[in-house]
């Protein structure tokens, strides 16, 4: 982006009398605005719609279906409603901190979009410490949550904030440790480099490169879920225990900011996972037409990150119960961190000492095992349907399909 | 809500480094998403670990026992539904049984079968809500919705039987209010065919889920002695390993003719008497109820369903204490008659009332998240506690 | 905790979580059970008509067959039924001037409909009774002084009253018929 602005200045498109940094700043703001309002917020909003529809089907009901076609405008209606609500700041709450906390959380979340590689050319800032930047910026969320918990002047919020701080800070470790095997394999921290060093099809993804990265995928996925405060790790906002945890005292648009950050964070998790393990925007064939190429790359990236980062966590959230605080800490420090260390050392050892033909063999085996696993899973799903004695007439594969008639 | 009148001793301790710490006093207030009904707990906690959780009841007191003295024998039956609206048939049954004992009325056989069918369906109803809410409190929202879906089918059955989905008022003094409608038995059999596999599916979804068992196993262990001392009944008592069921040990109605087992907690995920045991006892009781229902379908005789009792019912002077196995345990009804058209006194003993008394004992050194699990596993319902 | 225990914990966790996810996935392809009431039902379906006959919805009084026996007023435990009936020699029987049911108090127990000799007071499948003021919930059934009905020993012959009476009798026939006391 910086080069593009520079080219505009050089080409005389913008008045040269104004200092260059003003141009950069304007461009940054405009780009930022476009990305935030055109992509980030709609993603967060539409994810709420997707989640509610999926949850509906999981629970044998339909989700929102009144506002707009199949309830698609529900999120707009909800956002509008929240904006029109009274802005309640508790008298005894710490005013400035209370008001500032949602913005910190949003910053921590939106800031990551600057480094996400959507296509081979569409990346706002191809930092050479890309992945490190992303993990660092998401840690701002901890500060925001602690601020919210403390400033609410509510013991329940405080508990929620403290739990969340402990959780996010702890799970940074296995997340970071799981990134390192990938960095070892690539040799660079830059997001685009990581993607470019993977190939196009599933065969050359880092996910199947060696058994250690395979395990690292799951470790990273679980840690990222924990950092995003998603069930099974949603203690900080445990609805049935602490009302809404650190966000109890927030109403209207401020609470919407918190929850948009949570849902949008899912997409960021998906994007990071796709970049690191699933080959990013790589597509098997190259097109001459650059527009077609980039559209396909964008679609690939988007579908992969949405599928793994949004749909699977939604599915997990509505299947699993919540883990208790001490069990969560046990899981992090006694299970995930040692496994992550083993992954790191294992990858290093793999790179050094394992012959290429063994690597190829293991890659094929891992691919095959994954396919077999998915098939077994589908068979299990069919078993459940048969056990509940559900014939064809009880099934509906139409995701927008609805209800029965009475009688 | 202030803590006035609640002398909670806040402990201040000075550690070696000279740092003075103070307990945190929280009010898990009357409005809370997961206290089942309107309950309040004053929690003294040291961060996440509780020192004590003191229950505060009375938010749902409606003077139902006093109302009995005003509305008369027949008029009180709808009020009994509200004593425990989650399992209303048992309350109907208790009141009618007590009146029949005082007046010496014999209930026809078919009426007894109808009563037992209604009771066991209501047990399913109540247990579904209990396990569903437990799953929801632990954080899994889907099993709750599945339980509610099954309850909706049960509600439809009840609606056909007696016209109402929550406050049934099905039984009358001397029998039941309506005979089984034509085709209802087939519908119930069809429901049971659908429902039994779904209990297994529910087990596979949540009961043996590792997170769920870790959350519940070994938490809040209540030994058999403690359970008996604190007067726990029902699945709470059986979860602690005590094999006591009013239907088997003090049989009433037609239970002697029915074959079923009484599930007892075995400590499979921790110790005997932990939250998981109480939960799994309820799941197994649902299966036993299905068995009972199938036997009733086979064995129900023809005949009248009520022994008519005059509108102006005046039983002789006397009193009666009857016990029945409600969804929450041994429910006791003590009714005193003074020969007039209005009862002299009615006293209801409910399982949740004793269960809430053990929360204070069991909550020491638990985490706040565990408190929720304990409350859910004891199956406390506020209307039963406060009446 | 030994290595075997450690690995077993991980294996159990993965297994049970996978099983739960399979159950949830199987639900995603099942038909939802929702009934889209009130505005997305087929045009000719009123939910009220699909409810069972015994459904205890809002109370309704068929004044044509009400005998003003006051049995319902006596039976109601909440005293939400108020009936004014006087003997009027000139009109030839009991004349009702007031039959009010306060639906705000009614608890839909059905104790009033049981002792009714003709089934005049009965529950209907109506359940949509929400309104804006408490006073509007008092249903006043007597618009002008009405003569109470007198059941004919030989059966009702009036073609206007007979269907109402038949329906009322069918309603109270649903209640349990007793054996000997």
Q: Kindly report the three-state secondary structure assignment for every residue of chain B.
A: CCCCCCCCCCCEEECCCCCEEECEEEEECCCCCCCCCCCEEEEEEECCEEEEEEEECCCCCCCHHHHHHHHHHHHCHHHHHHHCCCCHHHHHHHHHHHHHHHHCCCCCHHHHHHHHHHHHHHHHHHHHHHHHHHHHHHCCCHHHHHHHHHHHHHHHHHHHHHCCCCCCCCEECCEECECCCCCHHHHHHHHHHHHHHHHHHHHHHHHCCHHHHHHHCCCCCCCHHHHHHCCCCCHHHHHCCCCCCHHHHCCCCCHHHCCCCCCCCCCCCCCCCCHHHHHHHHHHHHHHHHHHHHHHHHHCCCCCCEECCCCCCCCCCEEEEEEEEECCEEEEEEEEECCCCCCCEEEEECHHHHHHHCHHHHCCCCEHHHHHHHHHHCCCCHHHHHC
Q: Which residue of C has its CA nearest to A331?
A: C10
d(CA A101, CA B10) in angstroms, rounded, equals: 32
Chain C residues within 8 A of A231 when measuring between CB atoms? none
Record: contact B145-A59, CB cut-off 8 A:
yes
Instruction: Give pLDDT, residue A240.
Output: 47
Domain membership of residue C9 (yes or no) is: no
Record: contact B163-C109, CB cut-off 8 A:
no
Domain containing C86 equals: 52-173
Task: Give yes or no for C91 touching A (CB within 8 A).
Answer: no
Domain co-membership, B21 together with B120:
no
Instruction: Give pLDDT, residue A242.
Output: 53
Buried b (16+ CB within 10 A) or exposed e, B23-60: bbebbbbbebebbbbbbbbbbbbeebebbbbebbbebb
- Name which of B142, B178, B204 is nearest C176 (Cβ-Cβ): B178
Instruction: Give pLDDT, residue A18.
Output: 72
**A58 vs C156, more confident:** A58
Cis peptide before C38 (omega within 30 of 0): yes
Record: contact A240-B47, CB cut-off 8 A:
no
Hey, of B162, B210, B211, B269, which one would you mutate to test binding to chain C, going by the most C CBs within 10 A of its CB? B210
Record: contact C176-B163, CB cut-off 8 A:
no
Domain co-membership, B37 together with B169:
no
Q: Report the share of chain C in percent with pLDDT over 70.
A: 97
- Name which of C18, C23, C29 is nearest A396 (Cβ-Cβ): C29
Task: Give yes or no for B286 touching C (CB within 8 A).
Answer: no
- Name which of B149, B160, B303 is nearest C52 (Cβ-Cβ): B160
How many residues appear in chain C? Answer: 181
- Name which of A61, A240, A319 is nearest B372 (Cβ-Cβ): A240
Among all chains, which residue has been given the structure tokens 């690597």? Answer: A359
d(CA B158, CA B121) in angstroms, rounded, equals: 9
Record: contact A235-B369, CB cut-off 8 A:
yes
- Where are chain A's structural domains? 1-80, 85-355
Instruction: Give pLDDT, residue A2.
Output: 66
Domain membership of residue C12 (yes or no) is: no
Task: Give yes or no for C5 touching B (CB within 8 A).
Answer: no
Enter the ipTM: 0.87
Domain co-membership, B192 together with B292:
yes
Domain membership of residue C76 (yes or no) is: yes
Q: Smallest CA–CA separation between B320 and chain A, in Å?
A: 42
In sequence order, the β-bridge partners of residue B176 are B171
Angle formed at CA A167 by CA A164 and CA A171, multiple of 5 degrees: 145
Cβ-proximal residues to A72 (8 Å cutoff; 6+ apart), any chain = A49
Number of domains in chain C: 1
Domain membership of residue C23 (yes or no) is: no
Domain co-membership, B227 together with B141:
yes
Instruction: Give pLDDT, residue B17.
Output: 63
Domain membership of residue B257 (yes or no) is: yes
Domain co-membership, B83 together with B110:
yes
Hey, of C19, C20, C22, C45, which one would you mutate to test binding to chain A, going by the most A CBs within 10 A of its CB? C22
pLDDT, averaged across chain B = 88
Chain B residues within 8 A of A156 when measuring between CB atoms? 26
List pLDDT tens digits, range A13-28.
666 667 777 877 887 7
Q: Smallest CA–CA separation between B357 and chain C, in Å?
A: 32
Q: Helix, strand or coil for residue A219?
A: helix
Among C128, C119, C104, C2, CA closest to C63: C119
Instruction: Give pLDDT, residue B365.
Output: 86
Number of domains in chain B: 2
Q: With a cut of 70, say whether residue B95 has pLDDT above it.
A: yes
d(CA A188, CA A276) in angstroms, rounded, equals: 12
Q: Which residue of A has its CA nearest to C41?
A: A405
**C146 vs B102, more confident:** B102
Q: Report the share of chain B in percent with pLDDT over 90.
A: 55
In sequence order, the β-bridge partners of residue B25 are B44
Record: contact B176-C179, CB cut-off 8 A:
no
Instruction: Give pLDDT, residue B15.
Output: 56
With beta carbons less than 8 A apart as the criterion, state whether C123 and C57 touch. Answer: yes
Record: contact B139-A59, CB cut-off 8 A:
no
d(CA A240, CA B138) in angstroms, rounded, equals: 8
Hey, of C21, C44, C46, C127, which one would you mutate to test binding to chain A, going by the most A CBs within 10 A of its CB? C21
Spell out which chain B residues touch chain A, with contact meaning CB-CB distance below 8 angstroms. 24, 26, 32-34, 47-48, 135-142, 145-146, 149, 193-194, 197-198, 200-201, 204-206, 209, 211-212, 214-215, 367-370, 372
Q: Which residue of B has its CA nearest to C79?
A: B71
Chain A residues within 8 A of C24 when measuring between CB atoms? 58, 315, 318-319
Domain membership of residue B367 (yes or no) is: no
Q: Smallest CA–CA separation between A42 and chain B, in Å?
A: 26
Domain membership of residue B73 (yes or no) is: yes
Q: Which residue of A has its CA nearest to C19?
A: A380
In total, the C-beta contacts within 8 angstroms joining chain A to chain B are 91
Domain co-membership, B195 together with B47:
no
Chain C residues within 8 A of B74 when measuring between CB atoms? 75, 77, 111
Chain C residues within 8 A of A382 when measuring between CB atoms? 26
Structure tokens at B182: 């034509």
Domain membership of residue C135 (yes or no) is: yes
Chain A residues within 8 A of C31 when measuring between CB atoms? 394-396, 401, 404
Chains interfacing with A (3 or more CB pairs < 8 Å): B, C
Instruction: Give pLDDT, residue C181.
Output: 40
**B199 vs A354, more confident:** B199
Q: With a cut of 70, say whether residue B301 has pLDDT above it.
A: yes
Record: contact B205-A319, CB cut-off 8 A:
yes
> Which parts of chain A have pLDDT scores under 50?
240, 407
Instruction: Give pLDDT, residue B2.
Output: 45
Record: contact A320-B139, CB cut-off 8 A:
yes
pTM: 0.90
- Name which of C10, C22, C42 is nearest A381 (Cβ-Cβ): C22
Q: With a cut of 70, say whether residue B96 has pLDDT above it.
A: yes
Q: Smallest CA–CA separation between C73 and chain B, in Å?
A: 12
Chains interfacing with B (3 or more CB pairs < 8 Å): A, C
Domain containing B33 equals: 12-56
Record: contact A406-C41, CB cut-off 8 A:
yes
List pLDDT tens digits, range B228-287.
999 999 999 999 999 999 999 989 889 999 999 999 988 888 889 899 999 999 999 999
Instruction: Give pLDDT, residue A215.
Output: 93
- Name which of B105, B210, B304 is nearest C17 (Cβ-Cβ): B210
Chain A residues within 8 A of B149 when measuring between CB atoms? 59-60
- Name which of A62, A384, A401 is nearest C26 (Cβ-Cβ): A384
Hey, of A226, A244, A321, A394, which one would you mutate to test binding to chain B, going by the most B CBs within 10 A of its CB? A321
Domain co-membership, B127 together with B41:
no
Instruction: Give pLDDT, residue B282.
Output: 93
């Amino acid at each position: 982006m910086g080069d593009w602005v520079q080219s505009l200045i050089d080409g005389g498109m913008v008045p040269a009398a104004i200092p260059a940094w003003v141009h950069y700043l304007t461009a940054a703001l405009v780009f930022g605005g476009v990305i935030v309002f055109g992509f980030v917020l709609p993603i967060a909003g539409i994810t709420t719609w997707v989640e509610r529809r999926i949850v509906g089907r999981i629970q044998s009901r339909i989700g929102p279906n009144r506002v707009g076609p199949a309830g698609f405008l529900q999120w707009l209606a909800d956002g509008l409603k929240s904006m029109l609500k009274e802005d309640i700041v508790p008298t005894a709450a710490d005013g400035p901190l209370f008001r500032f906390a949602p913005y910190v959380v949003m910053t921590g979340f939106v800031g990551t979009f600057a480094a996400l590689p959507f296509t081979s050319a569409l990346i706002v800032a191809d930092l050479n410490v890309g992945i490190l930047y992303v993990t660092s910026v998401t840690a701002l969320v901890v500060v925001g949550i602690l601020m919210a918990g403390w400033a609410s002047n509510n013991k329940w919020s405080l508990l929620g904030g403290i739990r969340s701080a402990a959780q996010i800070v702890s799970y940074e470790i296995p997340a970071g440790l799981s990134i390192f095997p990938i960095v070892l394999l690539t040799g660079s921290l830059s997001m685009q480099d990581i993607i470019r060093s993977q190939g196009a099809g599933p065969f050359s993804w880092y996910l199947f490169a060696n058994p250690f990265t395979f395990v690292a995928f799951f470790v990273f996925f679980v840690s990222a879920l924990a950092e995003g405060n998603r069930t099974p790790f949603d203690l900080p906002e445990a609805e049935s225990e602490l009302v809404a945890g650190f966000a109890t005292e927030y109403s209207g648009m401020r609470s919407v900011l918190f929850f948009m950050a949570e849902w949008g964070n899912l997409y960021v998790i998906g994007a990071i996972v796709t970049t690191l393990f699933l080959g990013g925007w790589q597509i098997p064939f190259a097109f001459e037409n650059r527009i077609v190429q980039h559209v396909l790359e964008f679609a690939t990236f988007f579908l992969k990150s949405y599928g793994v980062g949004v749909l699977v966590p939604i599915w997990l959230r509505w299947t699993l119960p919540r883990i208790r605080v001490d069990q969560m800490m046990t899981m992090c420090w006694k299970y995930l961190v040692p496994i992550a260390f083993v992954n790191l050392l294992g990858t290093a050892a793999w790179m050094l000492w394992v012959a290429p033909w063994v690597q190829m063999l293991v890659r094929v085996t891992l691919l095959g095992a994954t396919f077999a696993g998915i098939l077994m899973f589908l068979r299990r799903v069919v078993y459940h349907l048969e056990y509940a004695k559900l014939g064809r007439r009880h099934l509906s594969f139409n995701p927008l399909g609805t209800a029965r008639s009475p009688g | 809500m202030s803590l006035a009148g609640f002398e909670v001793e806040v402990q201040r301790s000075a550690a070696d480094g000279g740092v003075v710490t103070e307990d945190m006093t929280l009010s898990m207030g009357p409005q809370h998403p997961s206290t089942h009904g309107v309950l309040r707990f004053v929690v003294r906690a040291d961060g996440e670990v509780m020192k004590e959780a003191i229950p505060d009841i009375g938010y749902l007191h409606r003077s139902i026992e006093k109302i009995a003295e005003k509305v008369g024998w027949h008029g009180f039956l709808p009020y009994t539904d509200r004593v425990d609206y989650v399992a209303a048939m048992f309350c109907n049954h208790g009141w009618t049984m007590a009146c029949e004992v005082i007046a010496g009325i014999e209930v026809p056989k078919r009426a007894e079968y109808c009563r037992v069918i209604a009771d066991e369906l209501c047990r399913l109803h109540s247990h579904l809500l209990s396990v569903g809410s437990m799953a929801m409190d632990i954080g899994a929202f889907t099993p709750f919705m599945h339980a509610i879906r099954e309850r909706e089918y049960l509600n439809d059955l009840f609606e056909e039987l007696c016209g109402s989905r929550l406050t049934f008022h099905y039984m009358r003094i001397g029998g039941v209010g309506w005979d089984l409608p034509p085709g209802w038995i087939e519908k119930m059999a069809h429901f049971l065919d659908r429902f039994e596999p779904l209990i297994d599916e529910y087990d596979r979804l949540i009961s043996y889920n590792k997170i769920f068992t870790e959350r519940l196993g070994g938490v809040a262990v209540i030994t058999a002695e403690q359970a008996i001392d604190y007067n726990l009944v029902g699945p709470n008592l059986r979860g602690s390993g005590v094999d006591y069921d009013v239907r088997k040990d003090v049989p009433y109605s037609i239970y002697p003719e029915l074959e079923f087992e009484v599930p007892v907690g075995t400590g499979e995920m921790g110790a005997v008497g932990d939250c998981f045991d109480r939960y799994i006892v309820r799941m197994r009781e649902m299966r036993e109820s299905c068995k009972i229902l199938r036997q009733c379908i086979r064995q129900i005789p023809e005949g009248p369903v009520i022994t008519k009792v005059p509108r102006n019912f005046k039983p002789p002077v006397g009193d009666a204490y009857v016990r029945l196995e409600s969804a929450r345990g041994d429910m006791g009804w003590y009714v005193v008659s003074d020969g007039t058209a209005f009862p002299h006194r009615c006293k209801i003993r409910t399982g949740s009332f004793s269960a809430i008394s053990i929360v204070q004992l069991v909550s020491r050194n638990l985490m706040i998240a565990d408190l929720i699990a304990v409350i859910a596993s004891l199956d406390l319902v506020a209307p039963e506690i406060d009446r | 905790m030994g290595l075997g225990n450690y690995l077993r914990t991980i294996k159990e966790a993965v297994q049970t979580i996978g099983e739960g996810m399979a159950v949830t996935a199987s639900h995603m392809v099942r038909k939802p059970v929702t009934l889209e009431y009130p505005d997305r039902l087929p045009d000719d379906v009123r939910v009220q008509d699909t409810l069972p006959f015994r459904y205890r919805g809002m109370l309704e009084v068929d004044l044509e067959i009400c005998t003003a026996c006051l049995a319902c007023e006596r039976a109601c435990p909440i005293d939400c039924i108020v009936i004014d009936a006087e003997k009027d020699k000139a009109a030839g029987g009991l004349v009702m001037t007031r039959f009010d049911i306060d639906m705000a108090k009614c608890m839909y127990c059905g104790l009033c409909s049981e002792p009714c000799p003709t089934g005049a007071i009965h529950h209907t499948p109506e359940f949509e009774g929400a309104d804006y003021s408490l006073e509007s919930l008092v249903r006043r059934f007597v618009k002008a002084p009405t003569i109470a009905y007198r059941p004919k020993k030989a059966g009702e012959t009036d073609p206007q009253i007979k269907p109402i009476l038949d329906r009322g009798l069918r309603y109270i026939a649903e209640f349990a018929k007793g054996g000997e006391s």
